[in-house]
Amino acid sequence: MASQILERLKRLTDIFNRELGSMEMMEAALGRFREVLRVDRACLLYPCEPEARLCQVRCESVAPGFPPVPEGMENVRVNPELADLMREMLRSETPVVRHGGAAWADWCRQAGMPPIRSELAMALKMKNDRAWGLSLQRFSDDGWSSEEIDLFQYAALRLRDACETANLLATVKNDIAKRQKVDAELARSEQRLRSLFQNSSSSLWLVDLSGLRDTIRTLRRQKVIRADRYLRSNPALLDQVLTMIRVVDVNSTTLELFGATDRQSLYDNLSRLLTPEARESFVRLFQNLYAERHHFSLEFPFLTLKGRRINTILSIDVLPAPESHLILATLTDITAQKEAEQRLLESRERYRLLLETANDAIFVADAETGIILEANKRAAELIGRPVSEIIGMHQTELHPPEDRERYQRRFHEPEYRTATEGLHDVFVQHSDGRRIPVEISASRTSIGGREVVQGIFHDISERFQTEERRRLLAAAVEQVAESVIITDLQGNIEYVNPAFEKITGYTYDEVIGKNPRFLNSGKLQKYHYQVLWQDISSGKVWRGTLVNRKKDGTLFEEESTITPVRNNAGEIKHYVAVKRDITRQVLQERQIRQSQKMQAIGTLAGGVAHDFNNILTAILGFAELSLLRAGSDPLLSSNLQEIIRAADRAARLIDQILTFSRQTEKHVASLQVSTIVKEVLKLLRASLPANIDIIADIGTKAMVRADPTQIHQVIMNLCTNAYQALAGDTGWIRVSLDTVELDARQGVELGNLSGGSYVRLRVEDNGRGIAPEYINRIFEPYFTTRKKDEGTGLGLSVVHGIVNDHGGAVTVDSKPGKGSCFSVYLPEVDAAMVEQEARETRIETGEGRILVVDDEQQIVDYEVQVLEQAGYVTYGHTSSLQALEAFNELHGSLDMVITDMAMPDMTGLQLYDRIKRIAPDMPVLLCTGYSEHVTAESSREMGINGYLAKPFTAEQLAQEVKRVLDEQKGRAGQEGSGQ
């Protein structure tokens, strides 16, 4: 396989070692491409430029059995699909694969070529020439293998290099040959035409029509009968034909006639000599040549280089062979004759022609009365009225009613009645009510002995709208909320808008002429600004974020877009920067990311809590049962109590995790935070060393709605954190409490709080502070900067969870070596007193038959033992489906069902729903290690009779069962008595 590839590669590239010219090289290479890569057609396009109107098939190689490009069809119109292909070729450094042949479809139809189904193309980008397009085409096969693409790319690059080398070697030879050819041609022309050119008083032109001859031959092959009709129906071909005319020489009379200083200035401006109607004259000229007339004449209008129109009789003489590609054109200036004929025409007819052909609206009014006598079609279009209606109107009626009196006075002023003048900022009124801006050129003249005023009304709506858009743009820049800065190429400020002044604090006069670097905060590296300048100075648009400093020293972040501004020549002359202050947005995004991170960790914590609570329920429950049976063995009792205490600590740790994730039940009441602060400070004073000074500043007794236990935990955790920050050194902890009013902006900056009154708790210390790199992570669970045995990393995360769960926010301000200040904001409420609840704990006994179901066998055993000791008959199951079958058999004798929440096959809620369908009055007690869907409150709303969160003690289980059964008996008694 490798040897085959090498052989194909050798066949493709060995021709590049031959001494060939560039075109010979290209023709040979196309044949080799077609043979080795097995394509139907290989061709070279020039130039490969998407903006070009036409390109040419310079050379091609076609497989046997397929037609070559027909003569005369070498020119290819660059349609949108071909232009798109060229752009992709120029952008890409590798071959471009196209299927369907859309780029060539029109040309293939015109040339009678089969449709192209697949194309492999690449741009040959020459160093000293325009790019060429190399195209391999297949009429029947859609696919290109990677091997073919790689071979094509390598060989194409070799072809480009070989052609450049050949061009370089041929340059000197070609220059010499071209010079010799030009010299010989000039010598023959001079010998042939010197006598005629020197002695003729007519304008003489020697013109080479070789290009036209090719077009004529092409049209004849296409059996075109009338070339003039064909050209009129094909404007693009007419434009192409006009470019094929090459002027060889003109005489001095021609230079004088057209106002040219020398021949070259005339040749360079040939297109300026043609009037619009000259295109039609040229069509007639082409028809004569097409009809093989060797001598003919026709009128042909021209323009001089100064723009003066001249009328001529153009006489054409086709030179005999072998110079039949040349014609001698003789121009006879008949301008004066034409003007004389025109002056002989009736002035009325001349004036009517002017009226009807004018591009502007023309009104002719009586100089004395102002009554309109004549109007042209454009006038009717301008004001939306027929000419018959306009005639007889007073000229002031052309204008809006509010302007008519002013124009009436102007019409009767002596200067207006005797002079020709222009009026600006004038409006006429259309019949539909629109005001149309116009410029008026007015002049007095005499028609048939009658003094009239002629007004030419030029519609300037487009210019007026452009000026309005400019004024709108200027107003928008002045009023936009984003900063706009315009600088010169050196970066010196030439303009700033009012938003810049408002955001930065600098006035317009303070910054004009300065470089924007005075805003630099020093927060970004020099490399950042180097990249910025490299981009904009190279013409690119730069987008990025800058950290700048206001006049008052405040730092702010800006989202900036800096764009180069070019003049009409494409040169960069200014830079414009549009900047948006995103300081608040960045702060909010940072807070959102932190909140999402905390929420994700909380979700993980909730999932862990469920299984862990199930385990703790079994540990704590069986430890309590074992303790009841321990008897007088003190060592066994002590060991069991240690197990219970350890389980309690584990349960509290789970509570802390769930508190952080805001998924525990709160017991919310109205309370005074000051009361809890005092309790915590009393504990702290008793437990902290004497070298720690505790300062209390309780400035308010405001109320909040909160869980007192959780608020107690918040204060204790913050104070403990402050003590640990002192690291055993002498220091102080200040705890202060006050109320603050937050507006909407302050609330958002603190953590998306609403505006209003808040109780603020502040815990400060003068300890070691927090390093800047840690400040954004201190509320993450298990994140700590202390040693392994100095903390779990949950304290501040629990604070964050509790405060957020109470609709508040917590912030921190810290500087390394100077201490920290934590601020907690809780919404203030109006309340008369602090709600307090008392709870009496005692073990309850009872009687009844209870169905117990939990997917953990240990928990079923534990609940069964507790309930049987309390006097109940129990039926335990570890499958919810088996429990449902048992309930179907026993529900007539059962008094209650206890079910776990999370179980396979059927959840506790699904089991509850099935039980209620069978026995609507059956009380159900729901137990859960953790559920994000069911809480004590939501279970009551669903009609569930009881709820226990794991882990629970034997006392709690017995009490809840007793409570549910007693409530059920009470409801049954009320229904039996008819109450």
Q: pLDDT tier at 835 (50, 70, 90 boundaries)?
A: very low
Last residue within a domain, chosen from 800, 829, 858: 829
Checking if the pLDDT of 837 tops 50, the result is: no
Does 373 share its domain with 266? no
Task: Say which residue the tokens 């820049």 belong to.
Answer: 477
Residue 876 contacts residue 883 (beta carbons within 8 Å): no
- Mean pLDDT, to the nearest integer, of 130-155? 86
Task: For residue 363, give the nearest of 443, 462, 450 by alpha carbon.
Answer: 443
Last residue within a domain, chosen from 767, 801, 829: 829
Residue 844 in any domain: the answer is no
- Can you give the CATH number for the domain in which 709 is found? 3.30.565.10
Residue 604 in any domain: the answer is no
The residue segments making up the domain with residue 568 are 478-581
Point out which residues pair with 617 in neighbouring strands: none
Does 365 share its domain with 329? no
Say what the pLDDT of residue 918 is: 93
Q: pLDDT tier at 623 (50, 70, 90 boundaries)?
A: confident
Q: Largest Cα–Cα distance of the chain, in whole Å?
A: 149
User: CA 241 to CA 283: how far, in whole Å?
Assistant: 10
- Mean pLDDT, to the nearest integer, of 327-341? 84
Cβ atoms within 10 Å, residue 610: 17
Where are the strands (E) in 2-146, listed by range? Answer: 41-46, 54-62, 75-77, 96-99, 118-124, 132-138
Residue 253 in any domain: the answer is yes
Give pLDDT tens digits for 951-962. Answer: 888 888 999 999
Does 511 share its domain with 525? yes
Residue 895 in any domain: the answer is yes
Residue 247 in any domain: the answer is yes
* Helix H or strand E encompassing 638: helix 634-660
Assigned token pair, 855 = 């997917």
Does 424 share its domain with 547? no
Checking if the pLDDT of 264 tops 50, the result is: yes
Where are the strands (E) in 149-272, listed by range? Answer: 203-208, 246-250
- Can you give the CATH number for the domain in which 357 is found? 3.30.450.20
- Mean pLDDT, to the nearest integer, of 309-329? 84
Phi/psi at 894 (nearest 5 deg)?
Answer: -85, 150
Does 275 share its domain with 255? yes
Residue 542 contacts residue 576 (beta carbons within 8 Å): no
- Can you give the CATH number for the domain in which 56 is found? 3.30.450.40
Give pLDDT tens digits for 900-919. Answer: 988 888 999 999 999 999 99
Assigned token pair, 930 = 């953790």
Q: First CA to last CA across the chain, in angstroms?
A: 99
| For the chain, the helix, strand and coil percentages under 3-state DSSP, each to the nearest 5 | 45, 25, 30
Say what the pLDDT of residue 607 is: 61
Say what the pLDDT of residue 320 is: 80
Give pLDDT tens digits for 486-498. Answer: 999 998 999 999 9
Q: What is the four-CA torsion angle of 33, 36, 40, 41, rounded to 10 degrees?
A: 10
Residue 443 in any domain: the answer is yes
User: CA 134 to CA 126: how far, in whole Å?
Assistant: 12
Say what the pLDDT of residue 585 is: 75
Residue 132 contacts residue 123 (beta carbons within 8 Å): yes
Residue 898 in any domain: the answer is yes
Residue 747 contacts residue 825 (beta carbons within 8 Å): no
Say what the pLDDT of residue 405 is: 82
Checking if the pLDDT of 644 tops 70, the result is: yes
- Mean pLDDT, to the nearest integer, of 594-598? 60
For 1-5, 41-45, 361-365, 423-427, which range has the lowest pLDDT when averaged over its residues? 1-5
Checking if the pLDDT of 354 tops 90, the result is: no
Assigned token pair, 606 = 């909730």
**Distance of CA 253 to CAs 198, 265, 298, 327, 332, Å?**
9, 15, 20, 18, 11
Question: What is the DSSP track for 233-264?
Answer: H-HHHHHHHHTT-EEEEE-HHHHHHHT-SSHH
- Mean pLDDT, to the nearest integer, of 844-858? 91
Task: For residue 108, give the nearest of 149, 77, 152, 148 by alpha carbon.
Answer: 77
Phi/psi at 581 (nearest 5 deg)?
Answer: -70, 115
Last residue within a domain, chosen from 550, 581, 612: 581
Residue 658 in any domain: the answer is no
Angle formed at CA 14 by CA 8 and CA 20, multiple of 5 degrees:
140
Residue type, 274: L
Does 296 share its domain with 437? no
* Helix H or strand E encompassing 611: helix 583-628
Helix, coil or strand: residue 706: strand
Assigned token pair, 19 = 């001494």
Strand order in the sheet with 421-429: 372-375, 361-366, 450-459, 435-447, 421-429
Number of domains in the chain: 6
- Mean pLDDT, to the nearest integer, of 154-162? 83
Does 99 share its domain with 217? no
Torsion over CA: 677, 678, 684, 685 (sign):
positive
Angle formed at CA 918 by CA 912 and CA 923, multiple of 5 degrees:
50
Residue type, 469: R
- Can you give the CATH number for the domain in which 908 is found? 3.40.50.2300
Does 681 share its domain with 806? yes
Does 303 share its domain with 387? no
Does 352 share its domain with 332? no
Assigned token pair, 521 = 């905060």
Average predicted confidence (pLDDT) for the chain: 82
Does 552 share its domain with 453? no
Residue type, 967: E
Most confident of 406-410, 564-568, 780-784: 564-568
User: CA 523 to CA 27: how far, in whole Å?
Assistant: 62
In the chain, % of residues over pLDDT 70: 83
Residue 311 contacts residue 334 (beta carbons within 8 Å): yes
Does 694 share its domain with 753? yes
Residue 665 DSSP one-character state:
P
